[in-house]
């Protein structure tokens, strides 16, 4: 999956909470937690989503938490 495809699919995945919060566009470097798009439970779901779309196993405990906060950092860590 390309970076752009990952960004598009993840934006689609986060579309409902973004709409509820009035977030018009999720940028590649936007902090998903700070925007309120994910909380601790939604973060677990986002990791599972990333595993499915990227076809990788993600062991969150093996990575710095910052890896999970932006679309760019997620793809950089697990997409390529």
CATH of the domain at 22: 1.10.1200.10
Q: How many domains does the chain have?
A: 1
Structural domain of 22 = 3-78
35-55 mean pLDDT: 95
> What pLDDT is stored for residue 79 in this prediction?
94
The predicted pLDDT at position 16 comes to 95
> 34 by DSSP, 3-state: which?
coil
Q: What is the pLDDT of residues 13-44, one digit of tens each?
A: 999 999 999 999 999 999 999 999 999 899 99
Position 80 scores a pLDDT of 77
23 by DSSP, 3-state: which? Answer: coil
Looking at residue 66, its pLDDT comes to 92
Q: Tell me phi and psi for residue 68, to 5 degrees.
A: -100, 5
pTM for the model: 0.92
Q: What gap in Å lies between CA 46 and CA 14, rounded to an integer?
A: 9
Averaged over 54-72, what is the pLDDT?
93
Does residue 60 register a pLDDT over 90?
A: no
């Amino acid at each position: 999956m390309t970076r752009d495809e990952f960004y598009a699919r993840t934006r689609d995945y986060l579309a409902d909470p973004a709409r509820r919060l009035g977030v018009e566009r999720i940028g590649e470097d936007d902090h998903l937690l700070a925007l309120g798009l994910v909380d601790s439970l939604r973060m677990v779901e986002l990791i599972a989503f990333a595993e499915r779309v990227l076809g990788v196993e993600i062991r969150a405990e093996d990575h710095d938490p910052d890896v999970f906060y932006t679309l760019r950092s997620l793809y950089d860590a697990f997409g390529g």
